[in-house]
Amino acid sequence: MPTIEQVRAKIQRNFPKERSPLRWARVSDRIIRSTCGRFQIERRGDEAATRYFAFMRPDKVIGARLGSAEQAKTICEQHASPLPLEPVTPAIEREPGCDDDLGDDS
């Protein structure tokens, strides 16, 4: 059975902290999609009323009514970031009135 260090090393090899930025391809005159296929940006409205919407495909809206395509791309980049490699320590839940951290009164 592998040790936790071996598992972490394998995760770091497979999911590096640094990743290349998303690349975009034009699908239509109003839609651009990431080359990985996970993200999509749509332009809606005309001229002064133009707004951009960012989607995580197939149908999750991650940014609505944005002023520019660059803002939408930034939101997509944030959602594409790799997961943290270090384990997150869960908060310790305690019963109400528990005073085990106050020390001994003796």
Domain count, the chain: 1
Q: What is the pTM of this model?
A: 0.61
pLDDT greater at residue 53 or residue 101 = 53
Q: 10, 12, 39, 17: which is closest to 27 by C-alpha?
A: 39
Residue 3 lies in a domain: no
Domain extent, residue 38, equals: 19-80
**Does residue 50 lie in a domain region?**
yes
Q: In this model, does residue 106 exceed pLDDT 90?
A: no
Q: What is the predicted pLDDT for the residue at 37?
A: 92
Q: Using one digit for the tens of pLDDT, what is the confidence trace for 17-46?
A: 666 789 999 999 999 999 989 999 999 999
Tell me if 68 sits within 8 A of 81, measured CB to CB. no
CB distance 39 to 56 below 8 Å = yes
The answer to the question of residue 89 being in a domain is no
Residue 8 domain-assigned? Answer: no
DSSP 64-96: EEES-HHHHHHHHHHHHSPPPSSPPPPPPP--T
